Structure 1
């Protein structure tokens, strides 16, 4: 589970607490090893407004190193103060573990120094072995690991492999597109879409940095259909055609 999803689960927990009349007794704390709540400023600003309004405490640059279940304590190292730790008492603890590629990649000649499949970020071709390509969570592509990213990558990969099989040079480039639907309540969502440069790359011609019921229904009702019946069957390569249509070809 991503850092982002942790934030959202806290927000949903807050909604649950409020619906049961327990919010005043709950102290919700979000600790992250990152220096920001989200990597794209536009959506980070939106999230900060939400956590402030909902009285959620956010702490940065804290990395979980130990959980003392007998005492219900979570110990974090303070990344900006080497050697120092901070301990939090908890009743419910939601943890995002460190992520890694599977051993079959990490322990092979295909991996980079950090253990990820070492591919060109533009054409998805392996940097050393030209007959190998990669998409998805196992790669070292500098973007968020989401199904939306895989969809956009698959569209580029299909075109790239076709050209390579005809002994032609790959020309299509993946721009790092990914999407993170930030579910902020039981019926609201901020649909974050962005590229390699952490710049918004939004599909719809309205401000997606705001909580919207329509975006919630897109995630809850439309996206599962796209995933199971389009993406997994090779029919969905991301929203780029729709985005160009919505923005009259300007993106």
Structure 2
């Protein structure tokens, strides 16, 4: 039994020596993570821009403003048709400014043959007889009549409109006969609608011209020239006879 105990001692001794020679490191617990009780710091890469004015919308996102509403210009419903307008130059107070369609007639009476003027002269065709100046309106625009008292009457001449206004001074239908034979008083300007036929009698095949061209078309046969009125405008008809040239101004309206 003794040798058994000795043998056991020999076995335990190396094990103890080995155990004592290699120390086992002590286990260490890592310290707890540090905690902060203050506010968390936020990192920014640049200064934050702030604006104090109103926000600006990019042009591509801006709403298109509505187009302005244009009111149509008022019509001159106070204008008269191609009528006879009679005016007394002795009238006191403020004189009117009438508006009359081309082809109408302004009659100024009573007035003597002198100290009477019209400007511009190309917009009227006037004649005088028995204390009366009678002027056919043959062109559009303002026309000013100056009387012997130096007072002025201004008339606004406008083109004919549709629907038609009452126009007592323009022939509207049928045939207008012009005697183109030699002699006689000067012809006063006339106003004809396109539905009227112009018939020029007692004249040969030559010596009749119209200016401007294109407003009327004529056909000649046996000393008679029949003319159709094609479109609105003012035409000057010239008839040439031996030793005489007679002009006629025609206002053509629709």
Larger Rg: 2
Bigger proportion of residues as strand? 2
Q: TM-score, normalised by structure 1?
A: 0.25
Bigger proportion of residues as helix? 1
Q: TM-score, normalised by structure 2?
A: 0.25
